[in-house]
Amino acid sequence: MTQATTTDLLARARTWLAEDPDPQTREELAALLADAETPDADANAKLAWSELADRFADRLQFGTAGLRGELGAGPMRMNRAVVIRAAAGLVAYVKRQGLGDLVVIGYDARHKSYDFARDTAAVVVGAGLRALLFPRPLPTPVLAFAVRHLGAAAGVTVTASHNPPQDNGYKVYLGDGSQIVPPADAGIAAEIDAIGSLTEVPLAADGWETVDESVVEAYLDRAASIVDPHSPRDLDIVYTPMHGVGRDTFLAAMDRAGFPAPTVVAEQAEPDPDFPTVAFPNPEEPGAMDLAFRTAAAAGPDIVIANDPDADRCAVAVPAEGGDGWRMLRGDEVGALLGAALVSKRAAGTFATTIVSSTLLGRIAEAAGLDYAETLTGFKWISRAGGLRYGYEEALGYCVDPQGVRDKDGITAALLVAELAATLKRSDRTLTDLLDDLALEHGLHATDQLSVRVEDLSVIADAMRTLRERPPTTLAGLAVTRADDLTAGSAELPPTDGLRYYLAGDAVRSARIVVRPSGTEPKLKCYLEVVLPVASAAHLADARTRAAELLATVKRDLAAAAGIDD
């Protein structure tokens, strides 16, 4: 690091320190500066310089996912200074666009979430608009509902969803209750860039209002209304909120809909920002459901349901074949089951999913005579499908009531799963039996994922470049018949950093792979699907074995082609 570089870095860090409104992050940054300026450079000084260089290399970029990052001091971390700037940019955008004067603000139970929400309220009121702050940590779907229900100009929820405990985030909705998409994200980002010194942002000391409990009650009424009041309710459930904020809302919704009280996983029942029982608070991660399955082994329920920490996602587990333990259903399996459930309810409108999800929903929609759409990854895109009636993404996100919550909602999805499971139970059938029916009718749609978490983001860039420069011609003995570079965009899809491959061979009806960097985590994600014909129920087991073998080989070959470790 040159003398000029160190001088500039120190100047920027000191400027930040002078403006930082948070005593905790001021103390943190001051300690780093003291270590960095130690006259005799030692290991602590080197570490401090490295940390300062990382924190001040750039700033967190505001995009369609809002903001998300590690807590700490500096522009590349989530902190009160970054949030105040983001809030000021959002308010300036709302005013410039003439969207209205009401902003609703929610938050989860993570470290600093309430502080960030309160700062947002102070910015909104300081700008002359009206701020409504949630009375306590509540699920993200309640915020998305409140934006529509109250006719707000915008909504903010402070959450990092299922990220690790050291992270937090800032998600923005506009008046239709959907997450932002271009060009709104760029417009808000431009307003953030235009903010000078943080001292120029007016902050109200008070004046914001508290969201009335009637809004939560209205959400619960709407949630309960998605199930038929005359459908069966005999179902035993084990439930975990994964140390998040979903428990009370989930239990209230289940009670209001008439279901028996679920058994809650005691060790994960209370909100805890440290998520002490899991490595990652995401039901998809290995080990995250272990305590739920242990509770289920003692309670003997029909199904296990989990929400992620902000309760916008829903995971479902069923008894494993032979009754030995539990099997997590893939997001695509739950997505197909919910689609089938809505078809049985004579749903009308468009079914939508993403290009990384299974194509089975398209088959279900086609058979029912419904419109079908595929979008880019994320509910910000799904929610904008024309005439949307149902949408899902394979990462455990489901929108079963877009007129109520135009985003993924783990509470209402759980209600619909429970109704479906109870209805099947009355006929001595299970969710697994219905999955078998769908495979027989539409072919076995088997999906898997190759997900590589990295410390160095250049690994992802190198893998994408390798695949573009030397694309595979065969994978698992299947010929790559078509390769799409999604950065070009198309009439159906906006541009995105991704690759899509179509494969063909005698063993499959069709196969598809999508490779993309994650938008919220340091991961390269590869989504795989093979579709096999199934002649009869007697052939299902063999088809599943063959599909699993194919997917495993595709993963191995794809990892080798990308130059990454599987």
Sheet containing strand 154-158, edge to edge, reads 67-70, 167-174, 154-158, 102-107, 130-133, 209-210
CA distance 472 to 141: 41
206 vs 203: CA distance, rounded Å:
9
Smallest CA-to-CA distance from 441 within 327, 566, 531, 309 is with: 531
Q: How many residues does the chain have?
A: 566
- Check: CB of residue 552 under 8 Å from CB of residue 462: no
Residue whose tokens read 């179902």 = 235
d(CA 202, CA 200): 6
Q: Is 161 a catalytic residue?
A: yes
Q: Note whether 450 and 555 are within 8 A (CB).
A: yes
Strands 167-174 and 67-70, how do they pair? antiparallel
For residue 2, give both structure tokens: 């040159």
Please give the Cα distance from 178 to 185 (Å, whole number): 13
Residue 561 near residue 555, CB atoms below 8 Å: no
Residue 375 burial (CB count, 10 A): 22
- Annotated catalytic residue: which of 50, 113, 161, 536? 161
Euclidean distance between CA atoms 88 and 83, whole angstroms:
8
- Other CB atoms within a 10 A radius of the CB of residue 121 amount to 26
Find out whether 157 and 407 touch, Cβ atoms under 8 Å.
no
Assess contact for 271 and 295: CB atoms under 8 A: no
Helix (H, G, I), strand (E, B) or coil at 243: coil
Pairing of the two strands 397-399 and 388-393: antiparallel
User: Both tokens of residue 38?
Assistant: 């130690």
Angstrom CA distances, 548 to 166, 324, 362, 551, stand at: 35, 20, 22, 5
In angstroms, rounded to a whole number, what is the distance separating the alpha carbons of residues 299 and 295? 6
What is the separation of C-alpha 48 from the centre of its chain, rounded to a whole number of angstroms?
A: 33
Is residue 152 within 8 A of residue 104, CB to CB? The reply is yes
DSSP state of 329: P
Greatest CA separation for the chain? 77
Q: Which two tokens stand for residue 549?
A: 């073998």
- Residues serving a catalytic function are 161
